[in-house]
A and B are shown apart, each in its own frame.
Chain A
Amino acid sequence: MVGMMIDGAGEEADELVTPGEFLGEATQLVAGKGAYVSGRSILASLTGRRTITPPTPGSSDNRSTIEVVGHKAHGAVPQPGSIVIARVTKVMARNASVDIMCVDSKAVKEKFSGIIRQQDVRATEIDKVDMYQSFRPGDIVRALVLSLGDARAYYLSTAKNELGVVSAQSISGGTMVPISWTEMQCPLTGQIEQRKVAKVD
């Protein structure tokens, strides 16, 4: 049965589907992007072409993944676990406000706000964090979405080596270069400023 369904799907892989169309049984396939599970059935939730991806070798689940691809995607929306690129707008004693610009590798179409709390800036000595020595307005930061937060903003974290400030301008207007995990230097004046710097690969 599984073989027949997957073979059949392979033959018709170019067929366009619309929301609500039956794609397969949840016992034999995993619902990917553009599909959802209703009872024991997998149904399409977007308009596009369906594709079946075989399971990765060595995975415990030997079901193939069915997805609906090639559709017009809506703007990216931050979700817990996403890595975002954001611009710092306001720095206060206990938190910093940011505007999210990119989610994973996709630009957002709408404005999403985020908050980096004092305890989420770094993993160690979280009680000694000085927000003004970690971020400044205008800095571009890479952060992890922790949760939906309150009605106003998403809670973000930079408490990993690869998270933090990726680009910052000095007072004199030059783009600063990181010299350590806590410092950035202006190439024009040589002035050193404190930041929570993201480790660049």
Chain B
Amino acid sequence: MSKQSSLPIALPKTRMEWVKVMVTVPRPSAEALAVHNRQEKLKILEDNVQQHRQTLIQWIADQGLAPEVANIGAPTNLGVFFVKCTPHVAQELQHAPGVADVLLADDCAINPLHN
């Protein structure tokens, strides 16, 4: 998966502000997974995202960015996890190894669709 720059150029500059981003990692293709059953797919995807997450945690520490990271969420079977960090770190994550995409994921209004 190619890395895309998905974050806006102008993020708040204040270092104390936190944002929530969704980090997407490279994953096996659907074709590669197709030969496995659901249980096996879960294991493969879980191991994959866990590995990338660990790599990212190490990179954050190596870059001295840990003070600007509030939390790194648990890995999910969907090949993503969430990071609460400063806007500065959110920008930097786009250049981290093993990161396919970084998307803004703050909460927003939704409408249950009844009248």
A and B: interacting chains:
no
